[in-house]
Amino acid sequence: MKRYISDFGRFDRENAYYGDDLGAVTIGEITTFRVWAPFCTGVYLNLYTGGTGNNKIETLVMRRQDRGVWSVELMHTCYGYYYTYTLEYEHREYVETIDIYAKGCGVNGDRGFIPDFSELEPKDWNETPRPVCENAVDAVIYECHVRDFSISENSGVPFEKRGRFEGFTVEGTRYEDIKTCLDHLKELGVTHVQLQPVNDYATVDESKPYAGKYNWGYDPKNYMCLEGYYCSDAEEGEKRILEFRELVTALHKAGIGVILDVVFNHTYFTEDSAFHKTVPYYYHRLNRDGVFSNGSGCGNETASDHAMYRKYMIDALKFWATEYKIDGFRFDLMGLHDIDTVNIIRDELDKIYPPLLMYGEGWTGGESPYPTDRLAYKWNSYSFGRVGLFNDNLRDGIKGSTFELRSTGFVSGSDHAIISVKRGIAANSRYRALQGIADDLCWAFTPAQAINYCEAHDNNTLWDKLSISAADRTPEERRKMDKLAAAIVILSQGVPFIQLGQDFLRSKPKILPEGVERNEFNTFDENSYNAPDETNMVRWEEKKKNYDVFLWYRALIALRRSSPLFRLRTCEELDAHLHFHNNTDIIAFELIGTEECYFVVFNHRREERYVNLPHGRFYKRLGEDGKPEYKRFEGGVHVPPISCAVYKRL
């Protein structure tokens, strides 16, 4: 197909369509199909009874309306039908595609499906409210992949529900006496689950549900449809919708919000994507030479700055927030979206549900032709409000550079990282006491803008990173390092983020072909996006084995949620309540409120440290075992090697 547009600004002014009625819209007994396809010489609607196969009902001619919108009206509802469009170019070239506005799809996402959402309401759907989250800093986010969560035979979930949306809905699951899955989430005390992409992705064949295939899902195909691999029957368009709503209901009932990981920054297919087929060379950014640019590192990048892709993102997000009661969005490679789009999305979502969380990766996966000062990069954080950014500065300060296997961080003994961790404790914000040195690293304009973490789906797990970078230390010491890392993430100002299983030393062993020898570079998988379950799944038996680690994470989360001093809302509050002690070789700080005072020590050294307590009498709020010690402390305390201790004033 040829390129029709030379000036996108002018093209948008003359052709962008702002109606909120694209796709298949049913009002009363009439269903109208509308598609924006300004370059076509004809558009046809194909109706089918199935999501695949030879079962066409009829093909209808669509009529061109204003601004390149084509439509056809049917005098009956079309619920339960599948459909595609055939697009005609230059009166001779024909291409069939799914509707980018399809709200459901058939197997493998090649035909749209028309759902009646009012008929797809699981039990308690309307009665279950969204969990309350007043401010983003009140959230504790837990990143999960749908399949990893319950696919293990020790998950306690019945075989036919493992690895699927349904895996999140089963109560009372155990491995021996250990709580797993949904019960585990409740026991741990997280407030939000962030699901790796659940919208329809391309590379796993949904028609073979037991083939054991795997993908993280950053290969998006349909942005308003759910992934069929996570559903009990991908052939039936209703099932994935109903089962995902059951997941949302189960988590909401448990008081846990649902955050979706959205990958609007690129499309898995380029020329073969529904976007390009419908409006050639419009939805993706192009380099000066007219070739698709690759700011995502995945072959292309989308153009949020073009009016109709911006509108598409807004429409899709509003759809998820309303039809699925979603509580937040995590934007993959958010640095590829322009700042205006990000701000408009925030405003639009505020109209639906103001506490909804928005955050993303403030970087890209390659070079974009779009001006960097207008993209949602981390260093442009002052340009977008109430949108969080992953805090890679704290991440690398805690454990060492993510990209250098052997690099060490604060918990593995690096003194150079002390300042990075201190900045992280102050949410990498404009906190007064740390101003003057490396101010560009103090990028957060409110604590809520810093998403603090040291492990996510990308790169090695924390435990694997420590196994490599601290190989010369004992496993017992590395365990202490892991716990100290957790304390930093969870007790820092900002929003804590942890990965599924991080709380019981999750590892991702690399599966090697026969005959390949194991070495430090291939023992663990640092990019397991399509690796088998043996690498990716959570092993619930490890929770039992590392139960002390789990209890520690749980205690930290409970402590954080128990006091507003760990969840300060503004930089002014940080200035008023957070005070670092001048220990040069470890980190100690006070959080002083009107009613409470905490004293927190992070000792990363291999020796015990004697630390002066602030004035007054204290008790140990959190010791190494995660439990309080109700004994009176005054003057000073001994803090064990590689540990965190928290004292509270009596």
Active site members: 332, 361
Nearer to Ca ion, 226 or 434 (CB): 226
- Cβ closest to Ca ion, residue 45 vs residue 107: 107
Beta strands in 379-429 (DSSP E): 388-390
Which residues, 171 to 210, sit near Ca ion by CB under 5 A?
200
Indicate the residue among 138 and 200 with the shorter CB distance to Ca ion: 200
Q: How far, CA to CA in Å, does 476 sit from each of 369, 539, 549, 588, 642?
A: 49, 20, 12, 24, 10
Distance (Å) of CA 131 to CA 311, 326, 440, 451: 28, 11, 35, 20
* Tokens encoding 190: 């997280």
Nearer to Ca ion, 200 or 338 (CB): 200
Q: Which residue's C-beta sits nearest to Ca ion?
A: 200
Q: How far is the CB of 83 from Ca ion (least distance, A)?
A: 18
Which residue number, 261 or 573, has a Cβ lying nearer to Ca ion?
A: 261
Q: What is the smallest separation between the CB atom of 221 and Ca ion, expressed in angstroms?
A: 6
Shortest distance in whole angstroms from residue 141 CB to Ca ion: 25
Minimum gap (Å) between residue 146 Cβ and Ca ion = 12
Total number of residues that touch Ca ion (CB under 5 A): 1
Instruction: State the Cα–Cα distance between residues 395 and 465, nearest whole angstrom.
Output: 12
* Cα–Cα nearest to 484, from 413, 432, 568: 413
Q: Residue 110 Cβ, how far from Ca ion at the closest point, in Å?
A: 10
By C-beta, is 206 or 573 nearer to Ca ion?
206
Helix residue ranges, H only, 280-358: 307-323, 339-352
Residue 200 Cβ vs Ca ion, minimum distance, rounded to whole Å: 4
Tell me which amino acid residue 419 is: I
Alpha helix ranges (H) inside 1-95: 8-15
The H-assigned helical ranges of 106-236 are 146-150, 181-188
327's CB contacts (< 8 A; 6+ apart) are 130, 131, 133, 192, 257, 258, 259, 353, 355, 356, 357
Q: How far is the CB of 70 from Ca ion (least distance, A)?
A: 27
Measured CA to CA, the distance from residue 456 to residue 498 in angstroms comes to: 7
List, as one string, the DSSP characters of 492-557. Answer: SSSEEEEETTGGGT---BPPPPTTPPP-TTTSB-S--TT--HHHHS--THHHHHTHHHHHHHHHHH
C-beta of 200 vs 464, nearer to Ca ion: 200
Asked whether 61 and 44 are in contact (CB, 8 A), the reply is yes
Contact present, 149 and 536 (Cβ < 8 Å):
no
CB of residue 197 vs Ca ion: minimum separation in angstroms? Answer: 10
Report, in angstroms and rounded to the nearest whole number, the Rg of the chain calculated over CA atoms: 26
Query: Nearest-CA neighbor of 442 among 574, 585, 591, 576?
Result: 574
The gap from C-alpha 447 to its chain's centroid, in whole angstroms, comes to: 19
Q: Which residues contact 236 (CB under 8 A, 6 or more apart)?
A: none
> What Cα–Cα distance (Å) separates residue 573 from each residue in 194, 198, 310, 517?
28, 37, 36, 54
Site string for Ca ion, 121-160 (x = CB under 5 A): ----------------------------------------
Q: For tokens 């396809």, what's the residue? A: 37
209 or 280: CB nearest Ca ion? 209
Which residues pair with residue 88 across a beta bridge? 42, 94
Q: Which is nearer to Ca ion, 219 or 455 (CB)?
A: 219
Residue from 387, 446, 389, 454 nearest 417 by CA: 454
From CA 242, how far away is CA 231, in angstroms rounded?
9
- If binding is defined by CB under 5 A, does position 219 make contact with Ca ion? no
Residues contributing to the site for Ca ion (CB under 5 A): 200
